Amino acid sequence: MALIVHKYGGTSMGSTERIRNVAKRVAKWARAGHQMVVVPSAMSGETNRLLALAKDLAPPRPDTAYNRELDMLAATGEQASSALLAIALQAEGLEAVSYAGWQVPIKTNSAYTKARIESIDDQKVRADLAAGRVVIVTGFQGVDDAGNITTLGRGGSDTSAVAVAAAMKADECLIYTDVDGVYTTDPRIVPEARRLHTVSFEEMLEMASMGSKVLQIRSVEFAGKYKVPMRVLSSFTPWDIDLGEEARSGTLITFEEDEQMEQAVVSGIAFNRDEAKVSVLGVPDKPGIAYQILGAVADANIEVDVIIQNVSKDGKTDFSFTVHRNDYARTIDLLKDKVVPALGAQEVAGDAKICKVSIVGIGMRSHVGIASKMFRALSEEGINIQMISTSEIKTSVVIDEKYMELAVRALHRAFDLDQA
Amino acid sequence: MALIVHKYGGTSMGSTERIRNVAKRVAKWARAGHQMVVVPSAMSGETNRLLALAKDLAPPRPDTAYNRELDMLAATGEQASSALLAIALQAEGLEAVSYAGWQVPIKTNSAYTKARIESIDDQKVRADLAAGRVVIVTGFQGVDDAGNITTLGRGGSDTSAVAVAAAMKADECLIYTDVDGVYTTDPRIVPEARRLHTVSFEEMLEMASMGSKVLQIRSVEFAGKYKVPMRVLSSFTPWDIDLGEEARSGTLITFEEDEQMEQAVVSGIAFNRDEAKVSVLGVPDKPGIAYQILGAVADANIEVDVIIQNVSKDGKTDFSFTVHRNDYARTIDLLKDKVVPALGAQEVAGDAKICKVSIVGIGMRSHVGIASKMFRALSEEGINIQMISTSEIKTSVVIDEKYMELAVRALHRAFDLDQA
C-alpha cells in the first residue's frame, strides 16, 4: 500500500463524462489498496471564461487590489471541479472529500496571480486518508497569512500536486496529461523520437525550460527540492487498463542516479525558436559592462536567456545575449538609444531569425568529447554555429532558424537517441 | 453618512454589462458619502448550471458527504460574481474588496444546503469600510466550525444581506430585485393594486409566506429579529437616477409603528391556490385527537398550513386542515388507512379545488369589525366561505378556487386599497 498523488489537467476534467472517467481511474487505485490524494485543474476553458469576464469589466492592471480579485475569481474553477470529482467518486461507492487550498491549508505568500507555496498542513488530509477517504485538493491555489485566496499562476496545479506530495511524503506523484511521457525530442520533428522511461530531475529542468512544455517548470523545481518521485503519463489510456501497466507507463522523473542503470550520455534534444540574438559590438572592456547592458534590459522587464561574452581583443569585447523574439525590436531600440552611447560601444547588431538547439544529459558531466561530437554533427550538415553556451548537463548552440529541424534530427541520430 | 447594505439578485448580476451597472449604482451611493457593503448573488443561471453538472454525475442524495460537495460547488457562483463586482467597482475608480463567506467569517451550523447563520464577525468589514473601501460579501454561503463551506439554500442571499446588515448595525438594507416593491395584492389580478411605501415586518412575513414571493421569508424573520430596516426596490431603474429618489423608492419594511402615520387597517390581500383542504369528520371529542391526526401527517413529512377544529356536538367534532395540493392524495390515503380506524372517526373528506385568500394588516390588531367587513364583501359577491382562520394581523378564508380572482378584487376594493 502506497500513498499516491494523482494530478489531472483541465482536459481530463473537461466534461462530466471525463470527470467520471477520472473517478473510475482513481477508484481503481484506491481499490488496489493505495491511499489516494487527487489534485484536479479547473474544467478546460473555465479559467479562460472567468478571466475573460474580468477583462471585459476592466483591462488587466498590475495592481494588488485587482490581482487579489482575479485570484478570488479564478480559484472558483478548481473548487468547482474538485467538488464535482468528489461527487463522482462518491457515485463510484468511495468516500471522498474535497478541500479548497485555504481549507488544507496550503499557505502561500501574497504575490497574487503568481504566489509561491510556503507550507502545507498535512493533518486534515492525513486524517481523512486514515479514515479511508479519497482526498481531493484543489490545484492552482492557496491562501496567504491574512486569509486572502491566492493562485500560483498558469499551470500551477502541477506545482500544487508536487507540493502536496512533498508535504504528505507521498510515494509517487502521477501527473496525468495529454502526452504519454517525456521524449528524446519532439516526435513531430524526429519520428524516431523515443519516450524516456526515466529522466533525471536536472535533465527535466533543462528540457522543460527549453520548450518541452510537458510540465510547469516550478513543479519540477519543487519536486527536485523535496525529492518527490514524479511521473508524467497519459490521461488518454482507458481508465481500466491494468494498474501495474499504468504504474510503469509514462516517464519517471528521478532524483537518485541509478547505479545499476547505464546512464545515457545525452538524454534528449531540446529546441526553441522563440528567441532572437542581440550583440553589442566593440565595447571597451572594463568592469561593469555586463551590468550596464543587462541592467538596462532588466529594467525594461525584458527576460534574457543565453548570455555570452568572449575574451577581449585590443581592449574591446563583444557582448551577446538572446531575448524572446517579441522583445527583439524593443531591445535593439533600448540598446541604441541608451546603452551604446553610455558605454562608448561601436554598434548594436542582432538577428531574430535564429533558434537554439540543445543536447541535454546528466551523463555529460562525466564524459568528455560530447560537445565536440555535437559540433561535428552540425558541421557535417553544413550548419554554422553562431553562439555556444554550456552548463554541466547541457550544451546549447544558436543557429539560423532554417536549420532547426535538420539540426535536431542530426543530433538525435548522432547520439543514438532513436535506439532503445 | 450612513452604513448601507445593497443586495443584488442573479438577474442584476447576469452579465458583465449588468455588473457594470451595479457598480455604477453602488459607486453613486459611495460617492454620496455612504459606507457601502454589497451582497451579490451568483450570475443568473450559474447555480443551476453547476448543480446540473453535479446531478449528471450522481443523482441527488440526502447524505451529508454529497451535500457537503454540493455546497463547495454552488458557493463558487457567488465567489466569482463578487470578485467580478469588485473589479467593476475598481474600474469605477473606487477601492473595493470581496470576501467569501468563510473570510468574513459568516459562521453557520453544518446543515449543508440549508445552513443557518450563527454569527458574523464584523471586524474585517468594518476595517475596510473605515479605510474607504466598498466591501463585497458573497451571498448565500458561510462556513461551519470545522471550516466546511455551507450554503443557506435557494434565495439565501437575501438572508446573507440582512444578516450582514444586522451584524454591521447598518442603517438600511436595500434588496434590489426584479419587482419595484411590495403591492397591496398581485397587479396581474387587480390592476389597481398599489405599491406600499411601507409595510410592517409582521405584515411582510404574512405576505411572504402566502405567496407574495418578493423576499426569502427567512430574511424577513432575520430582519425582524434584529430590527434591520429593509427596503425592497427595483434594480431596473437607471443606475443614475437621483439618489434621494432611489432611497425613497420601493417598499420599506419597518419595525416600529410610526405614530405620525395613520396605519392602514388592511395593508394587502394575499392568496394561494396551491392548497387542498382535508377534513376528518365525526371524530370522538377526547384529548389527543389533534395530535393523533397531525402527528401521522407530520410523520409522513407533509406540511400543514391552516388548522381548524370547531366546537364539538354530541361528543363528536370535525377536524380540518389544508396541505399543499401535491400532498393531497397522499394525505387522504394516510388518513383513511391509519387515522380514521384508530380514532373511530366517521369519514374523511377533502377538496383540492380550493384556494386561500387573506387580508393582512397590522392595523387589524386595534380595529374591530375587520373580519366581518371581509365576510360581507365576500357574501355580496355570492362567495361561500368554507374555512376561516385568523391571527392577530391576518384573516384567511378558504373558498372555491374558481372565485379566487373575484374575491381578491372584491377585498381589494372593500378595504380601499386602490386609493393612495
Q: Tell me the pLDDT tens digit for each residue of A69-115.
A: 999 999 999 999 999 999 999 999 999 999 999 999 999 999 999 99
pLDDT at B259: 46
What is the tens place of the pLDDT at every residue in A309-327? 777 778 888 888 999 999 9
User: Is there a contact between A84 and B147 if contact means CB atoms under 8 Å apart?
Assistant: no
Residue A204 contacts B, CB cutoff 8 Å: no
pLDDT at A259: 46
CB pairs under 8 A between A and B: 117
User: Is there a contact between A147 and B103 if contact means CB atoms under 8 Å apart?
Assistant: yes
H/E element, A62: none
Q: Is the pLDDT of residue A274 over 50?
A: yes
Q: Which of A24-38, A302-316, A326-340 is predicted most confidently?
A: A24-38
Residues 6 or more apart whose Cβ sits within 8 Å of residue B76: A76, A77, A79, A80, B50
pLDDT at B367: 72
Residues 6 or more apart whose Cβ sits within 8 Å of residue A61: none
> Taking CA atoms, what residue in B is nearest to A147?
B103
Q: Is the pLDDT of residue B351 over 90?
A: yes
Query: Cα distance from A5 to chain B (closest Cα, Å)?
Result: 20
Query: Cα distance from B147 to chain A (closest Cα, Å)?
Result: 7
Confidence label for A261 from pLDDT (cuts 50, 70 and 90)? very low
Residue B72 contacts A, CB cutoff 8 Å: yes
Q: Domain locations in chain A?
A: 3-179+214-258, 262-420
Q: Is the pLDDT of residue A375 over 50?
A: yes
- Cα distances (angstroms) measured from residue A299 to each of A303, A306, A343: 10, 18, 17
Higher-scoring residue by pLDDT: A369, A402: A402
To which residue does cell 448573488 refer?
Answer: B41
Quick one: average pLDDT of B1-18?
95
pLDDT at A123: 96
Which residue of B24, B50, B64, B73 to mutate against A (max A Cβ within 10 Å)? B73
What ipTM was estimated for this complex? 0.81
pLDDT at A162: 95
Percent of chain A with pLDDT over 90: 61
Q: Are A104 and A120 in contact (CB under 8 A)?
A: yes
Among the listed residues A128, A137, A135, A186, the one whose alpha carbon sits nearest the alpha carbon of residue A159: A137
pLDDT at A137: 98
A244-258, B101-115, B241-255: segment of lowest average pLDDT: A244-258
pLDDT at B314: 81
Please count the other Cβ atoms lying within 10 Å of the Cβ belonging to residue A160: 31
pLDDT at A263: 60
pLDDT at B260: 42
Q: Is the pLDDT of residue B275 over 50?
A: yes
What is the tens place of the pLDDT at every residue in B140-154? 999 999 999 999 987
Residue B53 contacts A, CB cutoff 8 Å: yes
pLDDT at B358: 92
Quick one: average pLDDT of A23-50?
97
pTM of the model: 0.83
pLDDT at B261: 47
Quick one: average pLDDT of B247-251?
94
pLDDT at A188: 86
Higher-scoring residue by pLDDT: A165, A346: A165
What fold, for A262-420?
Answer: VC0802-like (3.30.2130)
Higher-scoring residue by pLDDT: A274, B54: B54
Residue A339 DSSP one-character state: I
Residue A80 contacts B, CB cutoff 8 Å: yes
What is the tens place of the pLDDT at every residue in B375-404? 999 999 999 988 888 887 888 999 999 999
H/E element, A390: strand A385-391
- Cα distances (angstroms) measured from residue B64 to each of A95, B58, B110: 11, 14, 9
Give per-residue burial for A270-279: e unless 16+ CB within 10 Å, then b.
bbbeebbbbb
Q: Are B308 and B389 in contact (CB under 8 A)?
A: yes
What is the tens place of the pLDDT at every residue in B54-96? 999 998 888 999 999 999 999 999 999 999 999 999 999 999 9
Confidence label for A257 from pLDDT (cuts 50, 70 and 90)? low
Residue A290 contacts B, CB cutoff 8 Å: no
Higher-scoring residue by pLDDT: A259, A290: A290
**Measured in whole angstroms, how far is the alpha carbon of residue B100 from the centre of its chain?**
24
> Taking CA atoms, what residue in B is nearest to A88?
B57
Confidence label for B210 from pLDDT (cuts 50, 70 and 90)? low
Residues 6 or more apart whose Cβ sits within 8 Å of residue B49: none
Quick one: average pLDDT of B128-157?
95
Instruction: Find chain B residues with C-beta within 8 A of A149's C-beta.
Output: 100
Three-state SS at A362: helix
Higher-scoring residue by pLDDT: A53, A263: A53
Query: Cα distance from A111 to chain B (closest Cα, Å)?
Result: 16
Q: Which residues 148-187 of A have a C-beta within 8 angstroms of B?
A: 148-149
User: Is there a contact between A72 and B82 if contact means CB atoms under 8 Å apart?
Assistant: yes
Please count the other Cβ atoms lying within 10 Å of the Cβ belonging to residue B211: 14
CA distance B229 to B209: 19
Q: In the CATH scheme, what is the code of domain A3-179+214-258? A: 3.40.1160.10
C-beta contacts of B117-123 below 8 A and 24+ residues apart: B117/B142, B117/B152, B117/B159, B117/B160, B117/B163, B117/B222, B119/B167, B120/B163, B120/B164, B120/B166, B120/B167, B121/B167, B122/B167, B122/B168
Percent of chain B with pLDDT over 90: 60
**Residues in a beta bridge with A141:** A151
User: Is there a contact between A73 and B95 if contact means CB atoms under 8 Å apart?
Assistant: no
Q: In the CATH scheme, what is the code of domain B3-179+214-259? A: 3.40.1160.10
pLDDT at A260: 42
